[in-house]
């Protein structure tokens, strides 16, 4: 497993908390806070696209 540097949790008003992390290989990781051992890994660009789409209201059903 790569060494992941996790950022502080990001929490919505409803209490859904997520953490975003990166590793030395340039991969991005996202996990529910407290469950970092079970995370999704993808490219940095894929994670940026997901975040942009969520902010634009295109994927709010995921949250």
Indicate whether 23 belongs to any domain. yes
pLDDT score of 6 more than 90 = yes
The pTM (predicted TM-score) of the whole model is: 0.66
Confidence of residue 2 (pLDDT cuts 50, 70, 90): low
Our count of domains for the chain comes to 1
Indicate whether 61 belongs to any domain. no
Q: Which residue range(s) make up the domain with 21?
A: 5-55
Indicate whether 21 belongs to any domain. yes
pLDDT score of 61 more than 70 = no
pLDDT score of 57 more than 90 = no
Indicate whether 19 belongs to any domain. yes
Confidence of residue 31 (pLDDT cuts 50, 70, 90): confident
What proportions of the chain, in percent to the nearest 5, are helix, strand and coil? Answer: 25, 30, 45
Beta carbons of 4 and 29 less than 8 angstroms apart = yes
Among candidate residues 39, 41, 36, 62, the one with its CA nearest the CA of residue 51: 62
Indicate whether 63 belongs to any domain. no
Average the pLDDT over 8-21 and give the result: 80
Indicate whether 62 belongs to any domain. no
Residues 25, 10: Cα–Cα separation, whole Å: 23
Side-chain half-sphere CA neighbours of 1 within 13 A: 10
């Amino acid at each position: 497993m790569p060494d992941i540097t996790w950022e502080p949790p990001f929490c919505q008003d409803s209490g859904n908390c997520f953490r975003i992390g990166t590793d030395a290989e340039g991969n991005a990781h996202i996990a529910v806070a407290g469950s970092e051992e079970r995370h999704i890994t993808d490219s940095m660009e894929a994670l940026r696209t997901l975040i942009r789409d969520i902010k634009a209201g295109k994927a709010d059903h995921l949250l």
